[in-house]
Structure 1
């Protein structure tokens, strides 16, 4: 038995053997002097050599005994062997002995420890790999085999998480190296103080209240009561505010101003809307850089980044937004948001906030991917994060141990829940294609009945689960009703669009064509009605990004051959209202698609004039102002004022010719726009759809789609001409 050596006389030494007259040095350990002289020590205390030399007899501390190596059984050896073989294979090393039998269970080495580095994903299948590291409000999800397999050898539970920014990173404060953030949100100085850019505390509260009214119902990403307390505390001492909180505050300022009209900004803050947008967008950008958002493991920083992107959609092109939302997806995956929080040892409240954040990222990136021509990425059907529950913020608390039962009916989450249902429908009927990395859905007319049933089921679910509880006197409920109608009509258009036919709609019956025309102008009616109702003006900042240009194009194409009837008059009225509600379509001559749509509109109006249907009751109907403006803009106006490159003019001519002569193929796209319009995947997760600027499309591919005008029909007495 080992004893603890000591030179302190007060300590009681171990009992000596019976034959000894004094205490002995522990067996196998000579005193220090004997070791130095390399002489035999009698191991007495003191030893005889030290007594003769008149020196103090000092013993060295015994080393720990060598642990007896446990003999490994054949099964244990097999487990370790298979583990090492897997490591070698993942590292790209070919293992020759592929026929070695592996009949033992290998899950033992995958067990998670109870400390911070052991929150492992359950290995329910080979596809479910990865680990979540969580500590002090930060989390880090890793699927890379190098990190995962070395977690026990490298990470210590007491150490900060890899990539954590809980402490200031001073390794590059001099700016000697370029900051990665500047590649995404602009070149600005690191660690810049933003105290002077904050509004006065009273205006901070006004902006927060505006956010709660106009933005929060559209983008339920965090727990508003918790964030409100954080903002109140921060506004009392802006010089001491944490970097993630400051980034979140500036993003909230930005979106609050985005949701206001110019008159409201002048009245509330005494400054122009553009001045406020410029100030807070720069502040939000710098705050994100200060927080090192690309490396941060703080979910508040990620939420701030998402709000910043929502506010900058109008000012960034579609491709830039797609790149930026893609970085948000990667950050979220690093935090493990794509794995449901119920799988890990985090609170139910945090798990719910993670779900809210992840789904908002999914909406924005799915939309941005489509606008940038990338199609829906494969990760949209691979994550397992549950949809957030239909619960108001008042039903949740950071201290709660269990989530309450989900509410039935209308809550603060009703708009977002409607979007979740659409997204789940897309995911349910989608299938991952390994070749294209996009969501594939059944195409062709033979699948139309199945798609009709899916749409009918979704419509019934909307009615039973949400709409029957809505009170139209409440602005949010009114918006939900309109959006539900719009999304159902949009999905019907996608299911019955002429593009799904091999002959591009030539075999469509007149009834099918009429129904599609009717659904399209109904979508325009819903959109225009939303822009005219003052009660929901505060939500238009979000809704106006999702105008259904596909429906607008189809209506204009049909109006080239439809001249009389109430439906035709209603359709032309909706065209006028659409240009009033979306003036960019009228004035933005740099957008190739908008310019070509204007040409299609003028062609439809010329056909109406040629048919003599602009004369009613013996008098000439006045030319609508938008027609006059479209004509004026085309007098010597080129698509791009940035140069006279003949290639630009050629591209302009091609897209204009395409949309005028075959408008039903305008949404059919090549590698840049892979999803087919008859698929649910062409429906944006945000209920409506926006077309991108046509900047890098394969124009030659588009040219091959131009196979002539849509088939015209004989006049059957209802206003159709051959």
Structure 2
């Protein structure tokens, strides 16, 4: 040891205040005292101190002050006076502020367009600036004395979203934590697994349940025995199960609020996917886990980010060769079958997320050559099987998934024949509705013959499949006839066309209510709610503004009010601009109905006002002046009476003369799309798989 470099012992003896000293490199390696350096005659070099441990940043007073100042600026920007918030007299009201939501002209960004002028990506616009005068302007003739106060509890102009999934999944350099201690208790694991089998597996079918159950039985008591891919799959299964449960079920199984439990397990699933090496994996188990994870967050996550994340699943499937049928045929029967199931589920999910992200979905038509999955049950498949199992002729556990695959394939094949997207053809106002109906009816007969006639409505999955076929073709007919397809927003539609469109929308609403009523269907409500047709719901409400009484109106209101009860978020979520706008439209339609009933001598008492209407009014502090609607002409009143079979009115009344300004469907189109709600039939368009991957299957 040189004289210039004193040993740690010398430093310790000569210093009045001993500093922190670290052993030399050699001693640190050998874990021996420093005196060995002297004996060995080697230079004693003190080792570098280790990196300081990252500590949690404390929230100091200046941070709180800065945040408070920012929130005050946001409140002022939205026209909310801070003095009113401090006023004790207003603290009892559920409303936060009076929001001026009418009279603002729409503002649309240019975005990026394709060669045909359709947007490849629709930029975000301020939703509040696009609200329609027709629906929400408080100074309109229909609601001149209607004072609406919106409880806008959002402090920022951007919608709130869950934590950024994509940032964690792309963090390849972070440490890989041990997640085995984060699994639920063994009994909870089995109950979550059973919930997955009942609620999610029948609608996805991308895993072989018997094989997975064997692994769960083997390792549930010792979660550390799960492999990293299997651990990622398990946490995705937990997350899917929780997302599909009712609140009381989650509380019973986990003793935790469902939303909190879902957020917690989704966060752990993200970590598990990262630990399993999602972006570099060649393991199909990791891809299965990722697809299930995307299914579990599709109802709560930002549509734009979800579409990008689904693109990762597309690329992973391509890298594994799942979109290349010759490669799948080189695999075992079992691996090839589940490869097809995975790629078709990704195709459906990619089309769905493209639609809600407002991407031109005609550019995501499936162009791979992957065959359909087999019409077999899980019990017909085995990991070691050498020959393809015999397909069933009737309905199997795959009925729901096969219907969705067939629907997307039929539209794709028809598009290839016509040289254009069939969905664009259905939405083309220059194509006669009769021609559209011919195509839809022919395709519907194919599904009736191939699937529906084999279904037993006593079996919940098969009943759901039957309903889905009806709703799918209802969506096609809605797409073919919807007023927003026409330049005049449907002003020149004949009464027959309007009645036909109303019947289609009412049928879709009735099926939604029927699904909620049947006890066996509750396990699939997570999927039904994700595909609720608000487009049809809005059309019915708008029609009821003008056709206020009569048998048809009575029936429609029964279905609408029941639908509000089933979709409680539409009724109570005042942070969502779309839900607020629907509530406003419902109040206008109900006020018109009350006014007409009053003219007929049937004034409703407060007790007779339906619960959803009472809730909407209390949210908005509405004071309804029924004389508001006295500007209805006697001719309109007579027309309303003519619809009601209980009254006899002489004279011919033209419905066209009663129609007021058409609803602004461009506004509703933008508002529904921006809220991430699927419309028409875009869910069943398929993605583009152009790359021919040749990597081997592991």
Q: Do the aligned residues in 1 keep the contact of 2:168 with 2:274 (CA within 8 Å)?
A: no
Q: How big is each residue's C-alpha offset from its partner over 1:536-555, in whole Å with a ceiling of 9 and x where there is no partner?
A: 10111122111001101111
Q: Do the aligned residues in 2 keep the contact of 1:243 with 1:290 (CA within 8 Å)?
A: yes
- Pick one of 350, 353, 378 that aligns with 2:338: 353
- Pick one of 494, 497, 502 that aligns with 1:512: 497
Q: Residues 532 and 416 (structure 1 numbering): CA distance in 2 closer, same or farther, change over 3 Å? A: same
- Distance in 1 (CA, whole Å) between partners of 2:263 and 2:663 is 41
Q: Residues 570 and 180 (structure 1 numbering): CA distance in 2 closer, same or farther, change over 3 Å? A: closer
Decide which moves more: 308-317 or 409-418. Answer: 308-317
TM-score scaled to structure 1, two decimals? 0.61
Q: How big is each residue's C-alpha offset from its partner over 1:113-158, in whole Å with a ceiling of 9 and x where there is no partner?
A: xxxxxxxxxxxxxxxxxxxxxxxxxxxxxxxxxxxxxxxxxxxxxx
Q: Do the aligned residues in 2 keep the contact of 1:328 with 1:361 (CA within 8 Å)?
A: yes
1:493 deviates by: 1.4
1:225 deviates by: 1.5
Which structure is higher in RCO with an 8 Å CA cutoff and minimum separation 6?
2
Q: How big is each residue's C-alpha offset from its partner over 1:27-75, in whole Å with a ceiling of 9 and x where there is no partner?
A: xxxxxxxxxxxxxxxxxxxxxxxxxxxxxxxxxxxxxxxxxxxxxxxxx
1:354 deviates by: 1.0
Q: Which position in structure 2 is the counterpart of 1:266?
A: 251
- Distance in 1 (CA, whole Å) between partners of 2:166 and 2:304 is 17
- Within 5 A, what are the aligned runs for 1:521-532? 521-532=506-517
Q: Do the aligned residues in 2 keep the contact of 1:441 with 1:681 (CA within 8 Å)?
A: no
> Residue 544 of structure 1: SS of its match in structure 2?
helix
Q: Which position in structure 2 is the counterpart of 1:570?
A: 555
Q: Which position in structure 2 is the counterpart of 1:182?
A: 167
1:480 deviates by: 1.7
Is the counterpart of residue 628 in structure 1 residue 611 in structure 2? Answer: no
1:463 deviates by: 2.1
Q: Do the aligned residues in 1 keep the contact of 2:290 with 2:313 (CA within 8 Å)?
A: yes
Q: Which position in structure 2 is the counterpart of 1:544?
A: 529
Show structure 2 runs of 5+ residues with no match.
1-163, 623-659, 687-698
Is the counterpart of residue 581 in structure 1 residue 580 in structure 2? Answer: no
- Distance in 2 (CA, whole Å) between partners of 1:508 and 1:329 is 42
- Distance in 1 (CA, whole Å) between partners of 2:261 and 2:661 is 41
Q: Which position in structure 2 is the counterpart of 1:337?
A: 322
Is the counterpart of residue 316 in structure 1 residue 315 in structure 2? Answer: no
Is the counterpart of residue 441 in structure 1 residue 425 in structure 2? Answer: yes
Q: Do the aligned residues in 2 keep the contact of 1:340 with 1:386 (CA within 8 Å)?
A: yes
Q: Which position in structure 2 is the counterpart of 1:664?
A: 665
Is the counterpart of residue 305 in structure 1 residue 305 in structure 2? Answer: no
Q: Residues 251 and 180 (structure 1 numbering): CA distance in 2 closer, same or farther, change over 3 Å? A: closer
1:501 deviates by: 3.4
Tell me the C-alpha RMSD between the 2 structures: 3.4
> Residue 404 of structure 1: SS of its match in structure 2?
coil
Decide which moves more: 388-397 or 335-344. Answer: 335-344
Decide which moves more: 376-385 or 256-265. Answer: 376-385
Q: Do the aligned residues in 2 keep the contact of 1:455 with 1:488 (CA within 8 Å)?
A: yes
| Structure with greater helix share of residues | 2
Q: Residues 439 and 476 (structure 1 numbering): CA distance in 2 closer, same or farther, change over 3 Å? A: closer
- Distance in 2 (CA, whole Å) between partners of 1:451 and 1:184 is 44
Q: Which position in structure 1 is the counterpart of 2:684?
A: 685
Q: Do the aligned residues in 2 keep the contact of 1:554 with 1:663 (CA within 8 Å)?
A: no
1:571 deviates by: 1.0
Q: Which position in structure 2 is the counterpart of 1:284?
A: 269
Q: Residues 190 and 661 (structure 1 numbering): CA distance in 2 closer, same or farther, change over 3 Å? A: farther
- Within 5 A, what are the aligned runs for 1:582-601? 582-601=567-586
Show structure 1 runs of 5+ residues with no match.
1-178, 637-658, 688-722
Q: Do the aligned residues in 1 keep the contact of 2:351 with 2:364 (CA within 8 Å)?
A: no
TM-score scaled to structure 2, two decimals? 0.63
Q: Which position in structure 1 is the counterpart of 2:384?
A: 399
Q: Do the aligned residues in 2 keep the contact of 1:381 with 1:432 (CA within 8 Å)?
A: no
1:667 deviates by: 5.3
Q: Residues 661 and 635 (structure 1 numbering): CA distance in 2 closer, same or farther, change over 3 Å? A: farther
> Residue 328 of structure 1: SS of its match in structure 2?
helix
Larger Rg belongs to: 1
1:594 deviates by: 1.8
Q: How big is each residue's C-alpha offset from its partner over 1:396-415, in whole Å with a ceiling of 9 and x where there is no partner?
A: 22222232332212100111
The alignment covers a number of residue pairs equal to: 482
Q: How big is each residue's C-alpha offset from its partner over 1:501-539, in whole Å with a ceiling of 9 and x where there is no partner?
A: 343323322111111101101111110111122111011
Q: Which position in structure 2 is the counterpart of 1:555?
A: 540
Is the counterpart of residue 408 in structure 1 residue 393 in structure 2? Answer: yes
- Distance in 1 (CA, whole Å) between partners of 2:417 and 2:576 is 33
- Pick one of 458, 462, 478 that aligns with 1:477: 462
1:684 deviates by: 2.0
Q: Which position in structure 2 is the counterpart of 1:119?
A: none
Q: How big is each residue's C-alpha offset from its partner over 1:454-507, in whole Å with a ceiling of 9 and x where there is no partner?
A: 321232222222222222221112222222222222211112222333433233
Q: Residues 542 and 667 (structure 1 numbering): CA distance in 2 closer, same or farther, change over 3 Å? A: same
Q: Residues 399 and 341 (structure 1 numbering): CA distance in 2 closer, same or farther, change over 3 Å? A: farther
1:445 deviates by: 4.3
- Distance in 1 (CA, whole Å) between partners of 2:558 and 2:377 is 39
- Distance in 1 (CA, whole Å) between partners of 2:619 and 2:181 is 44
Q: How big is each residue's C-alpha offset from its partner over 1:357-414, in whole Å with a ceiling of 9 and x where there is no partner?
A: 1111111121111111113163433222222122111122222223233221210011
1:289 deviates by: 1.0
- Distance in 2 (CA, whole Å) between partners of 1:432 and 1:184 is 41
Q: Which position in structure 2 is the counterpart of 1:200?
A: 185
Q: Do the aligned residues in 1 keep the contact of 2:594 with 2:603 (CA within 8 Å)?
A: no
- Distance in 2 (CA, whole Å) between partners of 1:230 and 1:441 is 49
Q: Residues 180 and 632 (structure 1 numbering): CA distance in 2 closer, same or farther, change over 3 Å? A: closer
> Residue 381 of structure 1: SS of its match in structure 2?
coil
Q: Which position in structure 1 is the counterpart of 2:353?
A: 368
- Distance in 2 (CA, whole Å) between partners of 1:180 and 1:623 is 44
Q: How big is each residue's C-alpha offset from its partner over 1:592-626, in whole Å with a ceiling of 9 and x where there is no partner?
A: 22222222222212222333368675764722222
Decide which moves more: 325-334 or 207-216. Answer: 325-334
Q: Which position in structure 2 is the counterpart of 1:250?
A: 235
- Distance in 1 (CA, whole Å) between partners of 2:190 and 2:424 is 46
Q: Residues 508 and 438 (structure 1 numbering): CA distance in 2 closer, same or farther, change over 3 Å? A: closer
> Residue 333 of structure 1: SS of its match in structure 2?
helix
1:566 deviates by: 1.6
Q: Residues 454 and 192 (structure 1 numbering): CA distance in 2 closer, same or farther, change over 3 Å? A: same
> Residue 554 of structure 2: SS of its match in structure 1?
helix
Is the counterpart of residue 237 in structure 1 residue 222 in structure 2? Answer: yes
